[in-house]
Each structure stands twice: as structure tokens, then as C-alpha cells.
Amino acid sequence: MKGYADPLGKGLELVMREIYPELLESEIIVPVPLHTEKLAERGYNQSLELSSVVGAHLQIPVEGVLQKIRNVDMRSLTWKERHDVVNGLYSFQPETYDKICGKKVLLIDDVVTTGLTVTECAELLNTAEVASVNVLVAGRTVKRGS
């Protein structure tokens, strides 16, 4: 829910300051995008909300340079299905490539399940000749029985 963005974002900021201080060198924050249809349905992008809180507290600009080009709900997909569908699922927003070229990028997502989405986004960001890409997430799912 959108109301959790502030406390979770502050928690992410604390994690950066106390556990991963190298992330404080990030020059730009890029949230993992939602497809426009999903955004219209939900009304907000939880990754963008978290990114905005972190960015505001650390004075790091947030740029929505990525877009999700197909509306795919991956929650019910197997690892193999996710692997297949995530390939090419993201692209750059028009005229945003130059905003990240040469920068230290922090990619933020709300939840990681398989890591395929953040991997796909990070690989895409690397094509823009960024200095580095680090990933920060608020949570992760674990396989039941693990």
C-alpha cells in the first residue's frame, strides 16, 4: 500500500547509511517501472514511492528512465515462465538514456522474488554505459518450506 512508502523508504535509507554506505555514492535513483495499464489500475508505483522517499532524504534525484512495455503479471508464473517473459520486457523511456550515462545508478524495487526483473533492468541500464548499477529492495519473497 502507498501508505507504507514513507516508513519503508526511511528504513531503506537507514540500511544504506548503516549497512551499505557505498550506496550513498549513487548519483541517480531509478525505480523499477509498472506498465501504464497497471499504474492506472493501482494508482501508484510502489517502487517509485519508495525511491521518492529515499531520494528526498539523501538528496539523490529520482528518474523514471525505464518503461515496462507489456502488461505482464508475474505473480503466478513459474521461474521458467518468468525467465522467458522478462526478456525484453523493459526499455528506456524516450530521450532518457543520456540522463544516466556515466552515472552511479541505484535501482529500487519493492520486492524481489526470483531476481529476474532487477537483473533485466540492471542489464538494460548497463547498456547506457552507466558507471555502476546497484539494487536495493524493501523485501524479498522466500520459497515456502525454505
CB atoms within 10 A of CB 63: 18
What are the pLDDT tens digits along the chain (146 aa)? Answer: 678 889 999 999 999 999 999 999 999 999 999 999 999 999 999 999 999 999 999 999 999 999 999 998 887 888 888 889 999 999 999 988 889 999 999 999 999 988 999 999 999 999 999 999 999 999 988 765 54
Domain ranges of the chain: 2-140
Domain 2-140: CATH class, spelled out: alpha beta
pTM attached to this predicted model:
0.92
Pairing verdict, β 104-112 and 66-68: unpaired
146 CB neighbour count, 10 Å cutoff: 4
**Nearest to 84, CA basis, from 94, 70, 97, 65:** 70
Q: How many CB atoms lie within 10 A of CB 19?
A: 9
